[in-house]
Structure 1
Amino acid sequence: MGEGKIIKIYNKGVSEVITVIKKMDNENKELKAKLAALEKENEKLNKGLDKYEKQKKKNSTNSSKPPSSDGIGRRTKSLRKKSDKKPGGQEGHEGSTLKLSEKPDEVITLRVDKCTNCGIDLVFMKNEGYEIRQKIDILEAKLKTIEYRAEMKTCPKCGCKNKGKFPEGVDKTTQYGENVKSLSVYLSKYQMIPYGRLSEIFKDIFKLNISKGTLVNFNKKCYDNLEEIESNIKQALINSEVIHCDETGIKSKGKLNWTHVVSNKKLTHYSVHEKRGTKAIDDIGIIPFFKNTMVHDCFRSYNIYNDANHAICGAHILRELNGITDLEKQKWAQEFFDHLIHIKKAVDDAIENGNNHLAEQIQNELSFKYDEILEKGRKEDEEINGQRYNKRANAKKSKSLNLINRLVLYKDRMLAFMYDFIIPFTNNLAEQDLRMLKVSQKISGTYRGEHGAAWTMRINGYISTIRKNGYDLIQSLRSVFTSDRFDPTLPQS
C-alpha cells in the first residue's frame, strides 16, 4: 500500500483505519491458512516420494522380495562375504569325471591281426595287455506286455469251478503297470512336465498312447495311496527336535491360496490352504502339537504357539538390516549385521573344532555387544526421527525402530543358534523346500482342478522326504502303487 493511500485513509478518521486493518488481518489469516494447507500437502507429497524412492531401491538382499523380482541384469549385493579362495574346484577336491564300470554289460575285444607298420601277421602273438575305453548309453526303450492266463478247472469230486489267482494289480482285462505309473508321477509332479507334453513323451519314446485323463488318474491314485504315509510324516515332524516353517502364495482355481511347508533335514510336509495365518496352521495340525524348537521368519501367526520354543531366521534379519543401511542410512544396522555374522562364525568354528557349545564368557560378551549396538541404534533413530515422534503420540515408527524393538523383544529367539548348536542360523531349509513349488507355479500358472494343488502337495512332500533320506525315488514311487508301500518314516532293515 502506497504512502498517499495510507494518508488518505488516516484523514478519514479512526473508524476507517480500524476497518482497513481488520480487512488486512482477515486477508492475512486466509493466506496463512492457505500456506499451511500447501505446506501440509507438500509434506504429504515428499513422504510419498520418499516412500516411492525407498520402494524402488528394495531388492532381494534388503527386503523380503524374492530374487526373481530383481529384474534381468540387475546385480544385487550378496549377503555372503568375499572368500579368499580362487574360483573353481579347490585343491584336493575330488572331481566328478565319468568312471569306468567294474562290471560292464558287454565286452567287445578289438583284436590286432597284423602289424600296421610292416603288415606281418600277429594272430598268434601273445596279447601284452589292453587299453580300455567304455561307452555308456541308454538301451532302446521298449514296452513289455505280460499276458496272464488263469487256468480254469472243475473239480471232479465236488464240481467246484477253480481258477488261477491273478497277481496284485491285475484286476482288469488290460492295465498299466507300476513302472508306467511311477514314471508318469515322477515326470509330472517332480519334473513338472504338463500333461500334454507328458503324453507326447510316452508316445515318442515308448510308442505308448496315454491320454491326459489317464495321466491325471495316475496322480490321483498316488495321492490316495499316500494318505497314511503323509500322516506318518506329520507325526514324525511333531516328534522331531527342530522344524522349519514357511509359507508362500499360490493360485488355485483363479484365487490366491497359500502353500505351507513344515520340514527338517529328513522330512517334508506340504499343504495348501485358502488362509495364511492361524486358521491354516491349526487345520494342518503339526505346529499346534509341536513342543520343541521351530525356526521361522517371525511371522506373527507362528509366535502365538507358546508350547514350542522359537528361533528367528537370521537371513531375514540380515536382509532387513541391509534395507535400513541402504534406505534409512542408519549406521547401527551395518554394525549389527557384522556382529551377527561374527556370532555365526564363532558358532561355526566351535562346531568345526568338535565343540557343542560356546564358553559362557564368550556368550556373555557377544550378548552384551548385541544389547550395546541396539541401544546405540535406538539413540541414532531418535536423533533422526525423534522430532516426528514427538509431534504426535501415535506417529508411525520407522522400520529401523520397529526392527530394534523386535530384536530386543525376541533376543533369545534371535540368538537361539548361539546357545544350542542343533538350531540353525537361518530358515533357508524351508525356503529351499518351497522353491521348486514356486517354479512349478510359474510353469503351470495356476491349479485349475478342484484337487490339483492338494495332489501336488502330498506327492511332492513324499518325493522330498524320499530324496532327503537318499532312497531310490523311482522304486519308492513304484511301491506306492502296490500294497507294500515304502514308508520313509519307518525303520529300515
Structure 2
Amino acid sequence: MPVTAVRRRQVFDLPDPAPIEVTEYAAEVKPCPGCDIKAAGVFPAGVESPAQYGPEVTAKVADAVLGHHIPVHRATLLVMELCAVYLSAGFAASLRGRAARLLEESFLPAVRALFVTAPVVHADETFTRTAGATRYLHVAATERLSLRHAGDCSAATIDTGQVLPHLSGVLVRDGSPDTPTWTTFCTPDAAPTCCATCAATTRRIPRASCGPVPWPTHCWEPTASRPPPAKRAVTR
C-alpha cells in the first residue's frame, strides 16, 4: 500500500549528564647530580591546588549564584542536580570575591572608558547595607551603562568610582544642597564637564528651598518651567 502522507512530531530533550572528567597534572621533581638541589616542574596556569573545580564547573556555579542571584545553598543543589557533580556550598560562596576581583581587573576599566566619552552621565546615590553597616551606594549611569560602588558621601569616596572626575560631557545630578561634594566635578581643575540638574528634582524641589546654585556660571541652572533638553532625555 503506497504512503500518501507523512506526519512528523519532534520531542526535544536532554541526554543524561555526562560523568565528570578528572584531569591530573604531574610535575616531576629532579635532583641535580652535582649539588643535589631539587628542581620541580611548573603546573599550568590556574592549577593551584591538589584538587579543585575546573573552569566549566566554576562558570556554571557562578552563573547561578551571581548571574541569577540564587542563594548559595540552593544554587549548589541546582548545579549538582543538573550536572551530576558534587559541589560544596563553601566553593559557591567563594565565587563572589573571585568574580569581584576579576571584574575590577579586566571589565571595569573598559566600562569606565565608555563613561568618559559618554555625552550625558547621570550620577546619584542611595543607601545600602554593606559589611553590616549602612553605606552610601554611589551610581553613575547612562542609557546603557551603570557603575556602582559603596562608601561614605565624601568627594574622595565618590572619586574612587574613577568616572566623574574624568567626564567630558554633561553630568546630570539631583542638585541636592545636602551633597556639596558634587561641586568638585565642575571646578576648573576637573574635566570640562557641564552640570545639569535632573528634571525630576527640578519639579520636586522648589527653587526657594535649594538656595543659590553653587555651581559655576557655565553650568545649567535648574528651571522649573523649562528644563534643558539633556534633562528631559535622561529622565523620560
TM surpasses 0.5: yes
Aligned pairs, number: 213
Q: Larger relative contact order (C-alpha < 8 A, sep ≥ 6)?
A: 1
1:295 aligns with 2:172: yes
- Aligned residue among 201, 215, 237 for 2:115: 237
Q: Is the 8 A contact 2:27 2:43 kept in 1?
A: no
Q: Is the 8 A contact 1:244 1:427 kept in 2?
A: no
Deviations 1:321-356 (A, max 9, x none): 8xxxxxxxxxxxxxxxxxxxxxxxxxxxxxxxxxxx
Structure 1 match to 2:54: 177
Change (3 A) 1:197 1:296: same
Deviations 1:115-172 (A, max 9, x none): xxxxxxx4xx2454x44444444444444213246697x9xxxxxxxx9986543344
Aligned pairs for 1:243-392 within 5 A: 243-273=121-151, 275-300=152-177, 301=179, 303-304=182-183, 305-306=185-186, 307-318=192-203, 320=204
Change (3 A) 1:308 1:144: same
Q: Is the 8 A contact 1:238 1:286 kept in 2?
A: yes
Structure 1 match to 2:234: 426
Following superposition, the deviation at residue 424 of structure 1 comes to 5.1
CA distance in 2, matches of 1:404, 1:134: 70
Following superposition, the deviation at residue 249 of structure 1 comes to 0.5
CA distance in 2, matches of 1:221, 1:310: 37
- Which ranges in structure 1 are unaligned for 5 or more consecutive residues? 1-121, 155-162, 322-398, 429-493
Tell me the C-alpha RMSD between the 2 structures.
3.8
> Residue 183 of structure 1 aligns to a residue in which SS?
helix
Following superposition, the deviation at residue 288 of structure 1 comes to 1.8
CA distance in 1, matches of 2:200, 2:70: 32
CA distance in 1, matches of 2:62, 2:18: 19
Q: Is the 8 A contact 1:250 1:258 kept in 2?
A: yes
TM-score normalised according to structure 1 size: 0.37
Following superposition, the deviation at residue 179 of structure 1 comes to 2.0
TM-score normalised according to structure 2 size: 0.69
Structure 1 match to 2:35: none
Following superposition, the deviation at residue 252 of structure 1 comes to 1.9
Structure 2 match to 1:416: 228
- Which ranges in structure 2 are unaligned for 5 or more consecutive residues? 31-39, 187-191, 214-219
> Residue 425 of structure 1 aligns to a residue in which SS?
helix
Structure 2 match to 1:146: 22
Change (3 A) 1:257 1:139: farther
Amino acid at match of 2:147: H
Q: Is the 8 A contact 1:297 1:427 kept in 2?
A: no
Amino acid at match of 1:222: A
> Residue 426 of structure 1 aligns to a residue in which SS?
helix
Return the structure number with greater strand share. 2
Structure 1 match to 2:97: 220
Deviations 1:294-334 (A, max 9, x none): 2232234364121411233334445x28xxxxxxxxxxxxx
